[in-house]
Structure 1
Amino acid sequence: MSEIEAVWRRIEAWYELHGTSHLLNSGATDQAIAEAEKQLGVSFPAELQESLRRHDGSNVMGWASGELLSLERIASERRIWMELLQDGTFDDNAKHNADSEAVQPGWWNAAWIPLDADGGGNGAVIDMAPGPEGTAGQIIDMDHEVGPNGPQYQSLTEYLEAVADGLEAERFVVYDGAVVSIDEMEEGS
């Protein structure tokens, strides 16, 4: 069993236990993945391909960080970021993270693949063009107000393991059909 399959089994067990398996989308086909790669002009890492074959994202608010992006939503999020990059919106931030050896400087990079979204313009991305001390496939956090930082995780497997750990440690609950962190619930009360 692969690491991706093992961690997805843990995540699926939590969703099943809470009667929310419907919040995880069915898997994508190899053809759909290949078409998305072609459309986006990027090659997905093997971990992402395997994960997408298992679950093509989640429903909005069906994931620990908001939404695990489907192929369609990856394309949509990436298109927005790429338009901003290409029209020069980020030119003043070209040296952001210049002191990082793990992440290339700048506000957005064409080799980043959106992974999840919180609904407020922030989310994790897979970095396929890391800095000299980074690792291809590392997960960085992209905050639309403060820019990218990280890496948060060295791989998609590590990211999914952190999600599984949080679910199993009961740091998340299902509230009104959404997966919500206990911290958010306490802040809202």
Structure 2
Amino acid sequence: MTGHPPSTQDIETRQITDAWTRIETWITHHAPHTRTLLLTGASPDAVTALQRQIGVRIPVSLKALWARCAGTRTDPYSTFLIGGHALMRLETVATKYSQEMNYHRRHTDDTVTWRAAWIPVFSFSADDQTSGLYLDAETGRLCRWTRYAQHHPEVEYESLTDFLEEMADSLETPGLATSDKPGLVEGALVWGGMIHPEDKHLWTPLTA
């Protein structure tokens, strides 16, 4: 007697968990400073409370990521994710979402500044949310936001899974990295596009 085939949600959860495990394993072995910045995973109750607060059903992919890591500590090297992004803490997600929705409601014209389904996930830094990536809960896509009105979604990745798997692939096989090149600065994972001029002489690109 065979069991039931895995659901789409089960597959998505496993893909996110596997990709994050690859990333975290690499960081643990190669970037000890970055490892100290990772917060522990959020409890189901914490995610449910956030979902209730923003009034949007959180996709299973995002729940799976937050179950493994619920954000990044404040640090100059918090932007360790591919493309130079920081993983936002849950309380910051709620605050940013509320700010953007309130700003949208105050607009009297038809300009789209934010939509209810847009959940901010990655930001410019751990404490700077002037730009970043949000997850569209309706389409599953990761899109860019800036400090200006979002007239049209700027799609960066088709899914959160694609984002994490590309990062894991780039760390494990840096020679195949296309969008950005990973490297290290004194035990911190830093992507080539985010090197501060003062750290350029310290940055060592990954070659294997």
TM range (shorter): 0.7 to 0.9
Match of 1:103 in 2: none
Distance 1:93 1:183 in 2: 35
> Is 1:140–1:152's contact at 8 Å kept on the other side of the alignment?
yes
Match of 2:100 in 1: 81
> Is 2:71–2:89's contact at 8 Å kept on the other side of the alignment?
yes
Match of 2:192 in 1: 182
Match of 1:137 in 2: 140
> What is the alpha-carbon root mean square deviation over aligned residues?
2.5
Q: TM-score, normalised by structure 1?
A: 0.78
Distance 1:180 1:117 in 2: 15
Match of 2:204 in 1: none
> Is 1:123–1:141's contact at 8 Å kept on the other side of the alignment?
yes
Match of 1:102 in 2: none
> Is 1:57–1:69's contact at 8 Å kept on the other side of the alignment?
yes
Q: TM-score, normalised by structure 2?
A: 0.71
Deviations 1:39-79 (A, max 9, x none): 11111001111111111022244232331012111111112
The number of aligned residues is: 170
Distance 1:49 1:120 in 2: 21
For structure 2, the 5+ residue unaligned runs are: 1-10, 201-208
Note the 1:58-77 alignment, pairs <5 A: 58-60=72-74, 61-62=77-78, 63-64=80-81, 65-77=84-96
Distance 2:31 2:167 in 1: 15
Identical pairs, percent: 28
Deviations 1:87-141 (A, max 9, x none): 21xx5572xxxxxxxxxxx231111000110036111001124xxxxxx211111
Match of 2:23 in 1: 11
> Is 2:50–2:94's contact at 8 Å kept on the other side of the alignment?
yes
The more displaced of 30-39 and 120-129 is: 120-129
Largest Rg, 1 or 2: 2
Question: CA 1:36 to 1:146, structure 2 compared with 1: closer, same or farther past 3 Å?
Answer: closer
> Is 1:66–1:179's contact at 8 Å kept on the other side of the alignment?
no
